[in-house]
A = this chain, B = another copy of it.
Amino acid sequence: MRVLVKDMSKHVAGEEIELCGWVHRLRELGGLTFIILRDRSGLAQLVMEEKLELGLEYVVTAAGIVESNHKAPGGFELKVKRLNILAAAEKDLPFQINSDPAKTSLDIILDKRVLSLRNPKIRAIFYIQSTIIEAFSSFLRAKDFTEIKTSKLIASGTEGGTGLFELEYFDKKLYLAQSPQFYKQTMVASGMERVFEVAHAYRAEKHDTPRHLNEYVSMDLEMAFIDSELDLIELEKELLAYIFEELRQKQEAGLVLWNAVLPKPESIAKAPIISHDEALEVAVMEAGQGSKKQYEISPETERLVCAWAARETGSELVFINDFPRRQRPFYAYPQSSGSTMSFDAIFRGLEITTGGRRQENYKALLESLPRFGLNAEELSGYLDVFKYGCPPHGGFAIGCERLTQKILGLGNVKEASLFPRDRKRVSP
């Protein structure tokens, strides 16, 4: 019977069990072979009298008896009776899998994904990401949201045509969707009222920075019958607090490997909300003497505003709302002040969310198009959603890789994507 490494302690000096996994370390000492075996649950020491042709990363099954050994990892080891090689490994490993990944360049880590992920610390990133997605989904399901899957092949971009990847679709040109914006609003208006989607989104942006991916996982939601973006900010606070709590309970081992400290629920609850204009002022103040007036939220602004919030309020999360109309898409809900009911969430110096209430009034949408250089004909598919009764609504999206990156303190968002795509990287 196969037993996972983490469950060895339940079988001490009992029946024969079988461990399966990869040879993580290997050494011979006093006529014995010591193997550190790695399976999906952890590392275990194996002791064997027999000598076998073995190498690092061989896949084996080992049958034997579990015994206590306070020197072995976890306090137990397997006295091997029979070892069976399931798969051999070439000797030319391109880097040392069983050492600290900080010694390996990001390019090697991404080029050799099948090997770099064998390092428990690197693999932990994606166990954590899996829990983020699970927590996002289960939180929303409990609040009566329905999971949807919407097309990623679209005839045109809702937000103008820039930044789209073009596709040959039989005899037509289509584009990869930048976001499920149009579809999640359709689903709200269809009467589903509350929807979420976790799926890829595509941005044909040329810049190659530690915060950009050309293909990323967008965790989107949209809901009906809200008053303003403040309802959405409240929801996001609860949602993030829940995700952090789930990580605390389910991913302790991985968090320890990365020395990651999660924000406390009470610090999330008191995350400040400041207006776009206040954020710019705070950033100038925080930057100190001689710094110039800022006109737009830049990556630098985000870092400065977070530094200010951490010091003043103890929160690593800040919401910025009241964005000016010219900085938001045409569908952002306008306020009488000239700003919009839209917001960003900045976590540990990085924007992880954009959202807001959307304009649901058909006539107001039509009237607003000219100021954005848009016309009703091009947008007729979108506009139809509002023609037959659409409730007040809004939503937001969380960048899954960015949230993962900031939770673990990764230097580059690409580290939080299994198979990242940037301008140059198209494989594996």
Q: Which of A363-422 contact B (CB under 8 A)?
A: 381, 384-392, 400, 418-421
A206 to B170, CA, bound (A): 8
A1: chain B residues at CB < 8 Å are: none
Cβ–Cβ contact A215 & B133, under 8 A: no
A423 close to B170 (CB less than 8 A): yes
Residue from B87, B149, B192, B225 within 8 A of A361 (CB atoms): B87
* B-side contacts of A150, CB under 8 Å: 418-419
Please, which residues of chain B bring their CB within 8 A of the CB of A387?
89-90
Known: A200-B199, A206-B170. A192 touches B126 (CB 8 A): yes
Chain B residues with Cβ under 8 A from A87's Cβ?
A: 360-362, 386, 389-392
A95 to chain B, nearest CB (A): 11
* Stretch from A161-169, A236-244, A316-324 forming part of the interface with B: A161-169
Contact between B148 and A418 (Cβ–Cβ < 8 Å)?
yes
Shortest A252–chain B CB gap in Å is 16
Closest to A38 in B: B191
Contact with A113, one of B114, B147, B176, B190 (Cβ below 8 angstroms): B190
From residue 83 to 135 of chain A, which have CB atoms closer than 8 A to chain B? 86-90, 93, 112-115, 117-118, 123, 126-127, 129-130, 133-134
Residues in B neighbouring A388, C-beta threshold 8 A: 57, 89-90, 93, 114-115
Residue on B nearest A90 in the bound complex, by CB: B387
Nearest Cβ distance between residue A96 and chain B, in whole angstroms? 13
Check B193 against A39 for contact (C-beta < 8 Å).
yes
The complex places the Cα of A206 from the Cα of B20 at a distance, in Å, of 45
Segment touching B, from A27-35, A66-74, A151-159, A294-302? A151-159
A187 within 8 A of B: yes
Beyond the given pairs A20-B391, A153-B421, 15 more chain A to chain B contacts, judged by CB atoms under 8 angstroms and listed by A's residue number, are A38-B191, A40-B144, A40-B194, A86-B391, A86-B392, A88-B389, A89-B387, A90-B388, A117-B190, A123-B192, A134-B137, A151-B418, A154-B427, A165-B169, A182-B428
Residues of chain A touching chain B, judged by Cβ–Cβ distance below 8 Å, are: 2, 20-23, 38-40, 57-59, 61, 86-90, 93, 112-115, 117-118, 123, 126-127, 129-130, 133-134, 137, 141, 144, 146-155, 165-170, 172, 174, 176, 182-183, 186-187, 189-194, 198-200, 204, 206, 215, 217, 224-225, 360-362, 381, 384-392, 400, 418-421, 423, 426-428
